[in-house]
Amino acid sequence: MPTSESEDDTPSNSNQKETEGTKILLADPKTAILRLSLPMMVAMTLMTLYNVVDAFWVSGLGADALAAVGFSFPLFIITIGLASGLGTGGEAALSRMIGARDRAGASSVAMHTILLMTVLAVAVTVPLSLFAGDLFVLMGAGSAAGLAAEYARILFMGTFALLFGEVAYALMHGEGDAKRTMYAMAAGAVANIVLDPILIYTLHMGIAGAAWATILAEVIAAVPMVYWLFVKRDTYVSLHLRKFSPDPAVVRDVLQVGLPAAAEQLALALMALVLNGVIVLISSTDGVAVYSVGWRVVSIGLTPILAISSAVVAVTGATYGARAYAKMESALRFAARLGLGIGLGLAAGTFAFAPQIAAIFTASGDASGIAPELTTYLRVMSLVYPMVGFGLFSSSFFQGTGLGARSLTITVLQNVVLSIFFVWVLAIELGLGLSGVWWGVAAGNAIGAVLGYVWARRYSAGLIIGQAAATAA
């Protein structure tokens, strides 16, 4: 077992170490996509499942409790988005270093990313904890404002564990260590699934129990990551605070993808806030409950595609760092075909069984009234499943190449410009109500995804042509 003084960490060997994960990253890109995405599909399915199970248990507390979680959702997206964005920036930079066979550079990237995460945790926790109540009043939470503030304040107490988990997942995945990333994520998800009913009902903690279950699960998931990275030290990256030297160039390398990636999550939060506002305007807090529960269910359908998207970041980064542009384009095309096939299958299943799925989450008498609208939401959103991968993979592709601004452009185009435009036209101008909101989101995402994929393919083709011309010269 390597230690802080092991020969793996000596300068002479600093760029020589190989792990199973790095071998996967640097081999056939199609195989790498599959081997990195399959463990993440399992882990992310469990993570998404616990979100759905959480919604199921909270639904037993009534529509106000569901709405409280729904109003907390945008703030939670912001928090996760900042960490996820930073993690993505670290993952992309790390995988490019692996492609360039620079282990010392990869280790520096990882250490900078973790320290940036620590600063972020402090910056996020304090204001969100202090002003949660005022924010929910401004968001129009109404009778659900008190419950939403109670839920959110407890949740934000676990910000450090949440942020560390997101960043550590990304770094280990970025070096191709998908299996152990899966184990940690799965441990947290299973813990949350088990703790939810115990804390909410057995211990009579109500919505506060749901928040505490999430915090405890985050800690459980973080513990093995700390062990692997800082105690066992058998990862590709070597993390030693006493050897750390701040490097503005590394910070820029991480943030040139990390900041746009975080901004992408903020764009999603902005869309959620706008949608909540539109829904309250044309409906009620019941409409917010439909959106909150429905999105959790849709997230299960998107899980395989999101897992592939995560693999695209690492594989693109490694092939780009190695200047293997033909392999890079091959990985993108393979991911797109895979995502299309999975999306078609998931769309058919969700559309066919939407009433049964809706019934599961509207079992209590207070929540049963939203079942018909939830069914409509699920059926409309299922139609966009086949197209989602094109947009997600294109964003991940640009993140892997270090072009975070282009990835941000695709996300903003889909979720802010096009989606909000179509929502406004269909729901407000044409008076289609909640159905107009759902169709607007679907249309914006589908059109934006196609445009993003065309852009990514044009960029990769340009790199291949440029490399061929340089070789010929």
- Kindly report, residue by residue over 52-109, the tens digit of the pLDDT: 787 788 878 877 787 777 787 777 777 887 888 999 999 999 999 999 999 999 999 9
Instruction: Assign 7 a pLDDT band (cuts: 50, 70, 90).
Output: very low
Structure tokens at 132: 């949660």
Average pLDDT value for residue range 224-246:
89
Average pLDDT value for residue range 323-330:
94
When mean pLDDT is compared across 41-55, 80-94, 370-384, 405-419, the lowest value belongs to: 41-55
Query: For residue 441, is pLDDT > 80?
Result: yes
Most confident of 124-138, 147-161, 248-262, 350-364: 248-262
pLDDT score, position 320: 95
253-268: buried (b, 16+ CB within 10 Å) or exposed (e) per residue? bbbbbbbbbbbbbbbb
Average pLDDT value for residue range 238-246:
85
Query: For residue 14, is pLDDT > 70?
Result: no
pLDDT score, position 367: 66
Query: For residue 293, is pLDDT > 60?
Result: yes
Average pLDDT value for residue range 107-118:
94
Query: For residue 448, is pLDDT > 80?
Result: yes
Average pLDDT value for residue range 275-304:
83
Which 8-state DSSP code applies to residue 323? T
Task: For Cα atoms 117, 118, 120, give the angle at the middle one, nearest 5 degrees.
Answer: 60
Q: Considering the chain, what is the average pLDDT of its residues?
A: 87
Query: For residue 409, is pLDDT > 80?
Result: yes
Which 8-state DSSP code applies to residue 355? H
When mean pLDDT is compared across 112-121, 133-142, 238-247, 327-336, the lowest value belongs to: 133-142
312-333: buried (b, 16+ CB within 10 Å) or exposed (e) per residue? bbbbbbbbbbbebbebbbbbbe
3-state secondary structure of 15: coil
pLDDT score, position 3: 40
Assess contact for 383 and 296: CB atoms under 8 A: no
pLDDT score, position 9: 44
Average pLDDT value for residue range 195-220:
92
- Closest listed residue to residue 442, CA positions, set 372, 370, 391: 391
- Beta strand residue intervals within 282-425, DSSP E: none
pLDDT score, position 364: 63
Most confident of 58-72, 272-286, 309-323: 309-323
Query: For residue 16, is pLDDT > 80?
Result: no
CA pair distance 444, 162, nearest whole angstrom: 30
pLDDT-above-70 percentage for the chain: 95
- Closest listed residue to residue 393, CA positions, set 407, 405, 403, 381: 407
pLDDT score, position 289: 82
pLDDT score, position 146: 78
Query: For residue 10, is pLDDT > 70?
Result: no
Query: For residue 50, is pLDDT > 80?
Result: no
pLDDT score, position 81: 79
